Amino acid sequence: MTRHLMLIVAVLGLTFHGVSAQEAQPPPPSPDAVPRQAAEKPALQFYPSQSIEIRGLLGEGQSFTGYLLISSSSEMRLQAKLKPLKDAAQATFLHSDFLAVSPNPLNIEPGRNAELSFTVEDGGAPGAYAGELELLEEKSGNKWIIPVEVNLRQHANAKIYPDDESPQVNTAGSSFLNFLLPKSIRQDGLNIRIDNDGDGELTVSNISLALKGQNTNTALTEAFLRPDTSLDGLEIGPKGLEALSLHFDKKAFKGLPADTYKGEFRIYFKDAAEPLSTNVVVNKRMGAFGAILLLILGIIVGRWIKGLDKAKNQMELMERFVPLRVKVDKLTDLLARKHLWDELALLESQIDKVQSDESRATVEEGFPPLEKKVDQIRELEALQERLSEQFKEEKASAEIKSQASQQLRAARDAILDGNEQEAQEAIQKMDELINALSKDKSKGILDELIVPAAQAVKRQMTKLLQSVEAEKGEKGKGEQPAWRESFFFRAMQWISGVSMSARFRYGFIRPLVTLATFIVLLLLGFDEIYVNGGETFGAAGIMDYLKLFLWGVVSDVFSRSLTSDDLVGGFIGK
């Protein structure tokens, strides 16, 4: 019994151990539970690239097709799925009804090329469309994305207004005096009218200007035009007419040399096949300031040349004047020197006015009296030096010195007043005084000199009183109540030219006439040489500048002809 129990326990233990071991080991995999490895996406080769680009011109009744070659190392069957193409700029799209793919589906044999065509039918709206074409392999579910770009354009049924074709622009360099120029030769840009003959709307997208100087070979492009924000998206409605205004950039245009520039101007429209173009000619001349400056310099030089005839007589007179001025500068008597300086200044002003031999002769008449005064003053100074030496050697009384001083002043006044006889007598008396002092006989001689000295002083006082009375008389006349009537009559005389003072003629009439003549010459030269001298005045460089300068140089001939020379005056009046 006991054995049977032990045998049963042993069998149960072995059975339990086997079951535990069996539970500890994983179960064998089932054939149906083996995981399937993911299939790799086959590689496709696209030629010329993995994209399609199509460009076409609408309105000709034709379709537009793009081609793509596809190859694979394995056999494939691809299904093409079309999607609408969008134009982001216009917020429009090209519907799939206008799109076609052939063949669809596309069968590809291993190692061989298959051709796929993408066609856009005519009838869509113009624009730049972009989108995608999806290729799907139905068996494996793999897909490929092909970017697609379609650019459809149309003919722009527009033209430049007939009056604005082949425009010619005449302009001038920058100058603050350009307001003096006619507006026809200082235009500041292009003004072109565009006529839309079509039923659709046109939008200006860009412009271009390409001109070249005929002499300088300088390029004139749209960079010389001032940016105009009104051109951004300028729309021309169906059967519409719009003006396109383009202005020159002053800063950029300033450095452009004077020349004739020829070339083409183009206007680009959005989605248009070709731009609208026209020939353009731009003529640029130098600025008005440089022309006026050259004319002024020429006129000034011309007047200098005219003055050369006067200079000959003036130079000969100055050769005589300068030594005389040197003698006056060496005088020791300050009062006499000041008086002679005033006379020399008056004489010099007369020399400046010398224009002919007759006027020279008149001025020469003023030299001898002045030269004689200078010589007499020098002689008087020599006598004064001798007298001073006598006073140093001998003790003279104060009365004698006072009388001698009065005699010296009387002699000097007589000389400066031009009283030759009195001056000679005074000098002679001074000489006798010196001789008498040297012989100690001054008493009797001084008595004889008292009367002439007193007479000279009396003469000076009489002149002073006369001048004071004259000033009082003029002042009294000015205070009379009839001064308005006097002024009125004098004004009428000036207006009528019956009575004019020399000062009025010289100080007012002469400068006024000179200024008027100067302005007339300047305007005549400016119009004849600069304005009518060609649309590109200044392009010839120094030769054009010489025309202005020489006009000014010879202006003196024209100024005289305005009043006297009938031949040249008639030429100017043409």
Per-residue pLDDT at 455: 54
- Looking at the chain, the whole-number percentage of residues with pLDDT higher than 90 is 3
Per-residue pLDDT at 205: 83
Distance from CA of residue 64 to its chain's centroid? 55
Confidence of residue 559 (pLDDT cuts 50, 70, 90): low
Q: For residues 29 and 17, what is the distance between their CA atoms, to the nearest angstrom?
A: 23
Q: Is the pLDDT of residue 447 over 80?
A: no
Per-residue pLDDT at 280: 93
Give per-residue pLDDT as tens, 489-539.
Answer: 566 655 555 455 444 554 566 666 667 777 777 777 777 777 777 766 776
Do 341 and 328 contact (CB within 8 A), yes or no? yes
Per-residue pLDDT at 261: 93
Q: For residues 400 and 397, what is the distance between their CA atoms, to the nearest angstrom?
A: 5
Per-residue pLDDT at 529: 74
Mean local confidence (pLDDT), 274-289: 88
Instruction: Please write down the long-range contacts of 250-254, taking CB distance under 8 Å and 24 or more positions apart.
Output: 250/174, 250/226, 252/223, 252/224, 253/171, 253/174, 253/224, 254/173, 254/174
Average pLDDT, the chain: 73
Per-residue pLDDT at 282: 92
Give per-residue pLDDT as tens, 402-421.
Answer: 767 777 777 777 888 877 77
Confidence of residue 568 (pLDDT cuts 50, 70, 90): very low
Q: For residues 529 and 523, what is the distance between their CA atoms, to the nearest angstrom?
A: 10
Residue 225 DSSP symbol: B
Mean local confidence (pLDDT), 370-376: 85
Q: Is the pLDDT of residue 292 over 50?
A: yes
Do 378 and 412 contact (CB within 8 A), yes or no? no
346: CB partners within 8 A, 6+ apart: none
**Between 434 and 9, the higher pLDDT residue:** 434
Is this structure's pTM higher than 0.95?
A: no
Confidence of residue 34 (pLDDT cuts 50, 70, 90): very low
- β partners of residue 170: 283
Give per-residue pLDDT as tens, 46-62.
Answer: 888 888 888 877 776 67
What's the token pair of residue 13?
């233990």
437: CB partners within 8 A, 6+ apart: 387, 390, 394, 396
Mean local confidence (pLDDT), 274-284: 90
Closest by Cα among 458, 401, 407 to 431: 407
Per-residue pLDDT at 262: 92
- Looking at the chain, the whole-number percentage of residues with pLDDT higher than 70 is 68
Closest by Cα among 164, 148, 179 to 81: 148
Lowest mean pLDDT among 238-252, 291-305, 313-327, 372-386: 291-305
Determine the 3-state secondary structure of 253 from DSSP: helix
Going from the N-terminus, what domains does the chain have, and what CATH number goes with each?
Answer: 44-153 (2.60.40.10), 158-285 (2.60.40.10), 366-462 (no CATH)
Beta strand 85-87 with 92-94 is antiparallel
Q: Is the pLDDT of residue 463 over 60?
A: no
Per-residue pLDDT at 387: 73
Closest by Cα among 185, 190, 195 to 207: 190
Per-residue pLDDT at 507: 56
Determine the 3-state secondary structure of 281 from DSSP: strand
Mean local confidence (pLDDT), 83-95: 77
Q: Is the pLDDT of residue 162 over 80?
A: yes
